[in-house]
Structure 1
Amino acid sequence: MSTIMVTGASRGIGAELTGILTARGDRVLALVRDPAGLPEGAEAIVADLADPARLASALPAVGHLDALVHCAGISDPGPVDGIGVELWQRELNVNLVAPAELTRILLPALRSARGQVVFVNSGAGLSTGPLWAAYGASKAGLKSLADALRAEETGVVRVSTVYPGNTDTDMQRQLRAELQADYDPSRATSAATVAATIAQVLDMPADAMVVDLRMVPPNPIPHPTRMPGR
């Protein structure tokens, strides 16, 4: 049995992954804002990633951690001329600063286990376009965090990044609705498929490591590029 912490474990990819891990007997420490909807068998840790400075006080003592999976994330689309400081700070806190702080706090436990860190990024972490400046910047920063951590922890902690494309989650549906954009879930990858792939990354034998893994649906839905009314 492995001990694995998953952020964003009550929704989307995080919930699907938590279900897979608990069903096979792993101990899952599920970091969530609200434990409602958390898959049965997971141990809830209630914390708000929008406030990274409080993470240390919210975490229980963890002496041995086989893996940390960063699934949580937010996206607030908007043009550069419409994104204020508050939105920039929230997006960067949840998508970048909190993963960095959580990783820092848990590195001793990960080193003890010779464990793994998996960052669930996005195609926007590799390239982005109109309306996604804040989200893309936070995810590009997350890629840099993963790359630096991998170099620093060579031979001790394995570090992987998974880049899903369009994924059928509540967040994706909500974004499309806000942007008044067409949405066809059959042209998106399911959250279950992404979660199963992350589980495979976690299951890599100790003599191998996935560095970057990009996933896209075969017939992806174009990203919205305009705000309603503009």
Structure 2
Amino acid sequence: MSTIERPVVLITGASRGIGRAIADALAGEWRILVGGTRLESVQPAVDALPDAAPFVADLTDPTAVGAAVAQLDRLNAVVHSAGVSEGSTVEETSREQWAHQFELNVVAVADLTRMLLPLLRASRGHVVAINSGSGFTSNPGNGPYSASKFALRAFTDALREEERGRLRVTSIHPGRVDTDMQRQIQERLGHEYQPEKYLKPSSIAAAVKLALDASEDATVESVAVRPSGLPRSERP
């Protein structure tokens, strides 16, 4: 398959973790736009992938995002993988922490999607949001992050119905995944980090690929992926 024939997917947060795993899983069939805040962080992934280019913008800066989007001439899918988790109790969470999580986990996703709609509609494309098990239920000490993921689920539910027949919209809800974010979460909780207990990023990438590979008559609307050996009490 030649470069021009490959469909184009933008993956935010694609320099590491789940985003990088998604880029690796799609690399053989897609042209990958590697999303990140700085060129030096995304260039190693761009160099390692067979057909890739950087998409550099601070997702909380609408001017920078708009300038990056203006450089695109076609797009078949966007995978929103960038996000932040700052778990704490309601009592301990500042207004700034609430705003920061909602800005990156919800507002940035919605605004980037809005900017990309003309290109996505032209290709009858696909929007995939990496949500969380915390988008279904919340636990003590996780309210702010979970609230942002509930809001992200509301956004994808609304977008799916607004764009039905023009776009497909998928919400992916991983449980705990072996990533740098998970290490930070477990350190914050005072737990020993045991990577074998958690999902591999490649398992989430497989779920994204499943959604993107679905035939045109089908939409994989929501997928929950949980670690096989983790008890319910330790799931988000």
TM-score (norm 1): 0.91
Indicate how the Cα distance of structure 1 residues 145 and 53 shifts in structure 2: closer, same or farther if over 3 A, else same.
Answer: farther
Indicate how the Cα distance of structure 1 residues 45 and 9 shifts in structure 2: closer, same or farther if over 3 A, else same.
Answer: same
Output aligned runs, 1:1-230, within 5 Å: 1-22=6-27, 24-35=28-39, 36=41, 37-39=44-46, 40-41=48-49, 42-52=52-62, 54-220=64-230, 222-223=233-234
- The answer to whether the 8 Å contact 2:133/2:174 transfers is yes
Task: Measure how far apart 1:38 and its partner are.
Answer: 2.3
What letter is aligned with 1:183?
Y
What letter is aligned with 2:103?
N
* Equivalence for 2:3: none
Deviations 1:3-47 (A, max 9, x none): 00000001111001111222x041111210134242523311111
Query: How many residues get paired?
Result: 224
What letter is aligned with 1:177?
E
Root-mean-square deviation (Å): 1.8
Structure 1 CA distance for aligned equivalents of residues 146 and 63 of structure 2: 23
Structure 2 CA distance for aligned equivalents of residues 199 and 168 of structure 1: 19
Deviations 1:91-114 (A, max 9, x none): 001100000000000000000000
Greater shift in the superposed pair: 85-94 or 27-36: 27-36
- SS of the equivalent of 1:163 reads strand
TM-score (norm 2): 0.89
- The answer to whether the 8 Å contact 2:175/2:235 transfers is no
Flag the structure with higher helix content: 2
Structure 2 CA distance for aligned equivalents of residues 12 and 21 of structure 1: 15
Indicate how the Cα distance of structure 1 residues 224 and 113 shifts in structure 2: closer, same or farther if over 3 A, else same.
Answer: closer
Identity, % of aligned positions: 38
- SS of the equivalent of 2:210 reads helix
- SS of the equivalent of 2:223 reads strand
Superposed structure 1 runs of 4+ greater than 6 Å apart: none
Structure 1 stretches lacking a partner, 5+ long: 226-230
- The answer to whether the 8 Å contact 1:179/1:224 transfers is no
What letter is aligned with 1:18?
A
Task: Measure how far apart 1:52 and its partner are.
Answer: 4.2
Structure 2 CA distance for aligned equivalents of residues 50 and 135 of structure 1: 17
- The answer to whether the 8 Å contact 2:25/2:202 transfers is no
Greater shift in the superposed pair: 132-141 or 49-58: 49-58
Structure 2 CA distance for aligned equivalents of residues 150 and 25 of structure 1: 25
Structure 2 stretches lacking a partner, 5+ long: 1-5
Task: Measure how far apart 1:64 and its partner are.
Answer: 2.3
